[in-house]
């Protein structure tokens, strides 16, 4: 079994901000520490996983390809027409049966 090691983080806040954080924590019925941990987790999830250069490289690579495209409404209409004319979705579940 593994145990995670906790580290202490000290953050200095102006009185007004600290009062506001305490109010938020009370409203959610958690300690200030727990409220801050949740806020930090949420902030971390909003950060990009990959660095921007890697994303730009992937976008540049993708622009070299030529995929068929169409207006979204036109594609949806074609899908609907195929479905209403008894067209197959291409999946009948047979590959899942053994």
Report pLDDT digits (tens) over 33-90: 999 999 999 998 888 777 888 888 988 998 888 877 788 899 899 888 887 776 555 5
pLDDT score recorded for residue 88: 57
CA dihedral 85→87→89→93, nearest 10 degrees, is 120
Instruction: Indicate the domain borders of the chain.
Output: 15-87
Please report, to the nearest 10 degrees, the dihedral formed by the alpha carbons of residues 41, 43, 46, 49 taken in order: -70
Q: What's the confidence (pLDDT) of residue 38?
A: 97
What the block records as the tokens of 97 is 């049966």
pLDDT score of 95? 46
In this model, does residue 1 exceed pLDDT 70?
A: no
Q: What is the model's pLDDT at position 12?
A: 96
What's the pTM?
A: 0.49
Q: Give the Cα separation of 51 and 45 in Å (integer).
A: 14
Residue 98 predicted with pLDDT over 50 = no
The residue-averaged pLDDT of 3-16 equals: 92
């Amino acid at each position: 079994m593994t145990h995670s090691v906790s580290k202490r983080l000290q953050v200095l806040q102006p009185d007004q901000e600290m009062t506001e954080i305490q109010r938020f924590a009370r409203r959610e019925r958690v300690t200030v520490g727990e409220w801050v941990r949740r806020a930090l987790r949420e902030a971390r999830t909003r950060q990009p996983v990959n660095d921007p250069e890697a994303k730009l490289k992937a976008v540049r690579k993708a622009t070299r390809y030529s995929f068929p495209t169409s207006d979204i409404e036109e594609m949806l209409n074609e899908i609907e027409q195929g479905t209403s004319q008894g067209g197959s979705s291409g999946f009948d579940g047979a590959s899942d049966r053994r």
